[in-house]
Structure 1
Amino acid sequence: MTQDSPCYRVAFHRRLLAPQYWPAWLAVGFLSLLAWLPPRGRQGLAAGLLMLCRPLCRKPMRIARANLAACYPQLSREEREAMLNRLLHCFLSTALGMGELAVRSREYLSERIQIQGLGHLQRAQDSGKPIIFLVPHMFALEHAGVGLTMMGLPMVGFVKHHRNPVFNWFACRQRIRFGGELFHRDMGIATVIRALKQGNSLFYLPDQDHGPRQSEFAPFFGAQKATLPVISRIARCSGAVILPLSSGYVGDRVQIRIDPALSVESLDRYDEARALNQQMERLISRHPDQYMWFLKLLKTRPEGEARLY
């Protein structure tokens, strides 16, 4: 980010080659090599690493286990543990495959990423309005952003600064390799609205827990979740169209599915929160074991309910 532009840019610099960053470069090189391994090969490697990584992932596994118990009370403990195993396998496969977004060709990625529902996207574009894609935290989310950018859609993304500058450079490079701009996620709603008014499109992820201050509790699967109902204000101020979008791995492909436009502008705060959670449930249910259940989604609890984490 510079004084002249609010965009978040990370340029390569020679200081990134200092010895303290060599382990990070080894990791980047390893991911770049794995990018040339077929997806099923990475899935097999992830399966082999599963038992080794479980002891290293105790905290995220504990969080995911609590989330699954709260959201899927109808499932048995054995069913939830099986889902947790699939979740960890998908997480590892995704991590091993992140290099492909940074080094593989446009032709390869266009073949790997398949987008359905382009008619809904075309209608939104024909209206001349910017687009807010309503999306949950799925493991294939980065592929969705790259896929839309490769189509020529002007996209902006919001990032969190990584403490390791090599990983920070690598992550930002892969996200804007085919176009688009990045902003730091602390830039605020005004920056989001300004970017949309300039004709950009963006992903809006309403499923994180932002605390009780301005949130509304609404049903989310089998639990009550604190949800921030602000997308209606963003859409109203920017004139944007809201398109729900899901992303998931299906065999050797990444399947992106765009749904018809959603209207929440006329809803009150609770009904908007409920509508957002209903959309999240629907989109997550297409690939339930590819959702980031490791997040503290239910950190804020209704009065009188015990903490989950």
Structure 2
Amino acid sequence: MTQLPQFSRTLLHPRYWFTWLGIALLYLLVLLPYPVLYYIGCGLGRLSMRFLKRRVSVARRNLELCFPEMPVAEREAMVVRNFESLGMGLIETGMAWFWPDWRVSRWFQVSGLEHIAKAATDKKGVLLIGMHFLTLELGARIFGIHNPGIGVYRPNDNALLDWLQTWGRMRSNKSMLDRKDLKGMIRALKNGDIIWYAPDHDYGPKSSVFVPFFAVEQAASTKGSYLLIRSGNPAVIPFVPRRLPSGKGYEMVILPEERDIPLENESATAARMNKIVEHGVLMAPEQYMWLHRRFKTRPEGLPSLY
């Protein structure tokens, strides 16, 4: 059972004062009008490329691995747009945590809510397939406004940020579960809940099988999808929260239920889930988290891709 962090006096200790200052500045920043925030966020992202050179290299390499046929100039332009999205991701985190519901809803268009309603009519839990878009905090907030669910997360090493991200995410959702709490996720699905679940990161050799992801033939992919779908029998529904260009707001697209997910083994399930993720990523590729070392885990004996 996941124990959620609670506020305590220890979070007022001087070692957290710098974090509190950052939180206060972010709170004040997101009071600005959204079109202004859009240009600030994109500018911060471009500026960050000067200081995050290793992450720039990782993003460039991931795009090269996944899209080897893409012209180099196009990939370089994608890297710049990706870091603009990174800057916006910081702003959007503040928006997700601090904006009231009415202000979040004002900037979002939502389609596909009928797919969630259909699952409820069928008395099925929902495995809501998210991807690690840089819009994920804001996407989770707007989804929860319409259909409160349960988020899956990795606890933060900073106790203050761990409490704050939980508080922020639960403003429009029911609860949170540690990503290692598979039993809790299965129980929630059987109870008819919505579980926000992202199967697209590298969780290490013990938790992975190696199946294709874009042009990478052996990408470490989580075994958890197989266990959740086989045991929880949920409706598997992907969704994509994407930022519209030129400060026009956001669009959340809830896609139809994915049926006939293969369950003969973990590899078959993971391969299908990767195809679902690929489809979602291609809906807004410049907003995906390419700066993460997605392919750091390799089959034994194979060299690093980085």
Same fold? TM cut 0.5:
yes
Q: How far apart, CA to CA, are the structure 2 residues paired with 1:304 and 1:174? A: 42
* CA apart distance, 1:17: 2.3
1:8 and 1:182 in contact (8 A); partners too:
no
Per the alignment, residue 259 of structure 1 pairs with: 255
Distance 1:233 1:184, change over 3 A: closer
Amino acid at match of 1:259: L
Give yes or no for contact 1:154–1:199 (8 Å, CA) kept in 2: no
Matched, 1:220 2:226: no
Q: Distance in 2 between matches of 1:20 and 1:230?
A: 36
**Is 1:117–1:259's contact at 8 Å kept on the other side of the alignment?**
yes
Whether 1:185 aligns to 2:179 is yes
User: Which residue of 112, 115, 123 maps to 2:118?
Assistant: 123
Return closer, same or farther for 1:202/1:298 CA change in 2, 3 Å cut-off: same
Q: Which moved more, 1:86-95 or 1:56-65?
A: 56-65
1:96 CA drift (Å): 2.1
The count of corresponding residues between Structure 1 and Structure 2 is 302
SS in structure 1 of the partner of residue 75 of structure 2: helix
Asked if 1:53 corresponds to 2:51, the answer is: no
Does residue 190 of structure 2 align to residue 194 of structure 1?
no
Match of 1:239 among 233, 237, 245: 233
Distance 1:172 1:228 in 2: 24
Counterpart in the other structure of 2:289: 292
Which residue, 4, 8, 11 being the options, matches 2:3?
A: 8
Post-superposition shift, 1:229?
A: 4.2
Deviation at 1:87, TM superposition (A): 0.3
Q: What is the identity, as a one-letter code, of the residue corresponding to 1:62? A: S
Percent identity for Structure 1 against Structure 2 = 28
| Larger deviation, residues 29-38 vs 65-74 | 29-38
8 Å contact 1:117–1:258 — kept in the other structure?
yes
Alpha-carbon separation, structure 1, partners of 2:41 and 2:254: 29
- Per-residue displacement from partner, 1:154-189 (whole Å, max 9, x unpaired)? 4111222223222222211110012311122232x2
8 Å CA contact 1:159, 1:185 repeated in 2: yes
| Structure-2 separation of matches of 1:9 and 1:150 | 21
Aligned partners of 2:96 and 2:138 also within 8 Å: yes
Pair 1:279 & 2:276 matched: yes
Alpha-carbon distance in 1 for matches of 2:99, 2:207? 42
- Of 143, 167, 178, the residue aligned with 1:173 is 167
- Counterparts of 2:268 and 2:46, CA distance in 1: 43
Q: Label 1:222 to 1:96 Cα distance change in 2 as closer, same or farther (>3 A).
A: same
For residues 120-149 of structure 1, the C-alpha deviation after alignment (integer angstroms, 9 at most, x for no partner) is 111111101110011211111222221222
Q: What are the residue-to-residue correspondences of 1:87-106 with 2, within 5 Å?
A: 87-106=82-101
Q: Distance in 1 between matches of 2:299 and 2:61?
A: 16
| Counterpart pick for 1:160 among 135, 147, 154 | 154
CA deviations on 1:60-118 (whole Å, 9 max, x unpaired) are 22221111110111122222111011000111111023212222211111222322111
1:211 to 194, 200, 204: 204
Alpha-carbon distance in 2 for matches of 1:105, 1:44: 21
Unaligned runs of 5+ in 1: 1-5
Q: Which letter maps to 2:163?
A: W
Q: Which amino acid aligns with 1:169?
A: W
Cα separation, 1, equivalents of 2:114 and 2:28: 36
Instruction: Summarize the alignment of residues 33-72 of structure 1 with structure 2, pairs less than 5 Å apart.
Output: 33-72=28-67
TM-superposed CA distance for 1:50, in Å, is 4.1
Contact 2:152 2:176 in 1 (8 A): yes
- Take 1:216 and 1:173, find their aligned partners in 2: how far apart are those partners? 33
C-alpha distance in 2 between matches for 1:305 and 1:273: 20
CA RMSD of aligned residues (A): 2.1
**Alignment pair present for 1:109 and 2:82:** no
- 8 Å Cα contact 1:31/1:97 also seen in 2: no
TM-score, length-scaled by structure 1: 0.89
Q: Distance in 2 between matches of 1:230 and 1:18?
A: 38
Q: Distance in 2 between matches of 1:9 and 1:202?
A: 16
User: In terms of mean alpha carbon deviation, does 64-73 or 216-225 score higher?
Assistant: 216-225
How many Å separate the matches in 2 of 1:175 and 1:30? 19
Equivalent position of 1:147 in the other structure: 142
